[in-house]
Each structure stands twice: as C-alpha cells, then as structure tokens.
Structure 1
C-alpha cells in the first residue's frame, strides 16, 4: 500500500479536499497578516523612535510653543501621532491650567486608543485561525473515519487494507489543521505582546507630556503673579 502524499491526496474524497483547501486559505491569510503586521510594526517603531529623539530634545527645554510649531514630517509613528494630538489640544486650549491640562489629557487618551486599535488590526484573523483550524482539521478527521467505516461496510470485511485510505485521509487533515494553527497562535501571542508593550510606552509618554504641560502652565501662572 502506497502512503505517499500523492497517493493520499488521490484517495481523499471531495469533503476532505474541501477541508484541505479551507485550511490552506486560512494558512495563507494568517501568513499575510503576519508579514503585514511585522512590516507595519517595524516601521512605526522606527518612526516613533526618531520622533521621540527629536521631540524629546524640544520638550526637555519646556518650550511647548516650539514643540507645537515643529514640523517633523508625516512619518512620526504611533507615538508621534499621540503626542501631536496633545500638542494640537494645547494650541487651542484656554489659558486656564485645569481646563487646558484636562483637554490635553483627553486628546492623548483618545488618540492612544485609536493607535492601539490600529496596531491590533488583523490580529483577530490570527486568533480565529489559531482557535478554529484544529477543529476544521478534526471535522475532516471525523469524516475520514466515517468514510473508513463505510468502506469496511461496503467490503463486508475489516482489516487495515480496507480502511487504510479513510484513516490516512483522517490523519492528514488533522495534521494539516495543527500545522496551520500552531504558527498562527505563536504569531498572535508574539504580536499581541508587542502591542501591549507599545501601549505601555504610549501611556508613559503621554504622562510625561502631561507633566510638561502642567509645569508650563504652572510656570506661566507664577510668572504672571510676579
């Protein structure tokens, strides 16, 4: 009995082939998401680091006016978009310290939520593939076993030779389902951890920027009283 992949494929039924094509589509989808997210993450990390280096030097002086007027280009990464939203809120905020700081804080929070959701885009596909691919393969396994018993009933006798085609069909769909699911789960966990780390970075940077804004208004208030 030939158990090569070619023979197994030729002996599989239409339903098993449908399962295999479905798993292949799921695998391709997850690979596309992995590649796209890795490219996006690497670019936004680089752009955010460049923005932090440039904007950090300006904010270290406490010069919010210069920071608000600085043009650092469009590619500023997730961190740059969050801080820029805070600078925009600062430019249009009133002179009242409490109102201005609250306005800047809300702007930072809104943009931070948008950035985190943007970074998570596509991860749902990986989660879906990782959780459902084994069950899709199991469905193919179940039908393969059913076919094996049908072959046994048709032949009127048992034995490995009678049911070997159905068993091999069942095993290959199970294996394919696991091969699709395992990389998707690993990628999902890795990329989700990366997004969580960037979320912490955004939160810390937003708090540091708020401190700069609060000190700026405090210094302005003290100067006006003097």
Structure 2
C-alpha cells in the first residue's frame, strides 16, 4: 500500500505529456510558438519557389531581350501577359515611351525622367513581391527565444510554488515542472533558429535578384536615352 502515493505523483515525461501537464500560460506560449514555426516553414517554402520562379523568368527575359528581337515586337508579346521581374520593368518603360510619343512629347529630358520613374516604380513593386513576409521571419527569429524564455520563467515559478505547497524538495516533485518549463524554451529555439537562417539566406537571394533587375533598369534606360536622342536629331533634321 505504500507504493500508491508514488504512483499518484507519477508524471508522464514525454513531450506530449509535459505539454498537457503544463499550466495554461505555458501551453499558450507553446502553441503560439508552434504556430509561428509552422507559418515560418510555409513562408520559407513559398519564398524558395517564388525566388526560383523569378530567377527562371529573369533568365528567359535576358535571353529574349538580347536575342536581337526588336523592342516593339518584344513589347507586343509581353504587354498582355502577367509579367514579372525584368519583363515588368521593360513593359512599364515601353508603355510610358509609347504614351509619351503618342501625345507628341517635346521634351527629351521630361520623357527620360518619366521613363526612369516608371521603371523605378515597377522595380519597387517587384522588390515588395520578393521581400514580402520576410519581416515575419526576422520577427520570429528575434522574438521566439524570449517568448519561450517567458514560458520557462512562468513554469519555473509554478514549480517553486508547488515545492512550497508540498514542503518537499524531492527531485520527483521539482523535475516535472522544470521539464515543462524548459520545453517552452526548446520550442522557442526550434521556431527561432530556422527563421534566422531562412531570413539571412532569403534576404541575400532577394538582394541578388534586386541587383540584377537594377542593372537591367539602368542599362535599358541608357538604351532608351540613345533612342530618344536619335528621334530628337531626326525631328531637327526634318
């Protein structure tokens, strides 16, 4: 009969058991961190797919752009499509080019400025598409360990209250509560570490893609500037 108290105080030390034995605050912290971790991985998978799609689109556009096809033909083939990356920048510039000449643009400098602004806006939209939701990864990476630590502190406080209530410092009394508390920190690290690694990698990839698009924007601006000068000369000669 003396073994009954021991059985009554037995604790399930598995991860699932520690979760169910934890207090409601610690449970709330764990659930929040798990949700953040799942959402982090969803963003990572989505961004990897998006970045690969963007790289493929940039490569295809560069091959087509430098193949010798005329700008008018390329514009007609892309104007009705849902373009991305360099294609979106090209279409924005050509659309402004055509609108300006259809309205009889007289100022070469004004036309060049409008084209540059159109390309800058298109580039900004493409970068917003690439960098969207990356801030969530940065937030999880920086905040998750502290959220987990908060759960650990609450759990340890609860354990000390249990020790005071039982008037016992037996390890069997202390260990379950401390294990539950430390589980919150562990889940916080599980959420934070992938988020930090993914944020650093994806931010670097986004910067590289942005650099490629900025380079094309500058180069295409120079091409259009030369064509504007040629048209000004032709008008002057006429």
Normalising by structure 1, report the TM-score.
0.89
- In the alignment, the residues of structure 2 paired with residue 212 and residue 30 of structure 1 have an alpha-carbon distance, to the nearest angstrom, of 42
- In the alignment, the residues of structure 1 paired with residue 108 and residue 164 of structure 2 have an alpha-carbon distance, to the nearest angstrom, of 84
Match of 1:37 in 2: 47
- In the alignment, the residues of structure 1 paired with residue 130 and residue 30 of structure 2 have an alpha-carbon distance, to the nearest angstrom, of 31
Q: 2:177 matched to 1:158?
A: no
Match of 2:192 in 1: 181
Counting matched residue pairs gives 223
Match of 1:148 in 2: 159
CA deviations on 1:20-51 (whole Å, 9 max, x unpaired) are 11111111111111111111121122122212
Aligned partner of residue 77 in structure 1, secondary structure: coil
1:195 Cα deviation after fit: 1.3
Between 104-113 and 71-80, the greater mean CA deviation after superposition: 71-80
- In the alignment, the residues of structure 2 paired with residue 98 and residue 69 of structure 1 have an alpha-carbon distance, to the nearest angstrom, of 26
- In the alignment, the residues of structure 1 paired with residue 72 and residue 178 of structure 2 have an alpha-carbon distance, to the nearest angstrom, of 73
- In the alignment, the residues of structure 2 paired with residue 41 and residue 156 of structure 1 have an alpha-carbon distance, to the nearest angstrom, of 59
Q: 2:35 matched to 1:25?
A: yes
Matches within 5 A, 1:95-134: 95-134=106-145
1:206 Cα deviation after fit: 0.5
Match of 2:66 in 1: 56
Match of 2:7 in 1: none
Greater gyration radius: 2
- In the alignment, the residues of structure 2 paired with residue 53 and residue 76 of structure 1 have an alpha-carbon distance, to the nearest angstrom, of 15
Match of 1:90 in 2: 97
Match of 2:204 in 1: 193
CA 1:72–1:56: 2 relative to 1, 3 Å:
farther
2:178 to 144, 167, 191: 167
RMSD across aligned positions (CA): 2.1
1:101 Cα deviation after fit: 1.1
- In the alignment, the residues of structure 1 paired with residue 155 and residue 164 of structure 2 have an alpha-carbon distance, to the nearest angstrom, of 14
Normalising by structure 2, report the TM-score.
0.85
Between 127-136 and 138-147, the greater mean CA deviation after superposition: 127-136
1:208 Cα deviation after fit: 0.4
- In the alignment, the residues of structure 2 paired with residue 122 and residue 89 of structure 1 have an alpha-carbon distance, to the nearest angstrom, of 31
Match of 1:13 in 2: 23
CA 1:30–1:133: 2 relative to 1, 3 Å:
same
1:10 Cα deviation after fit: 4.0
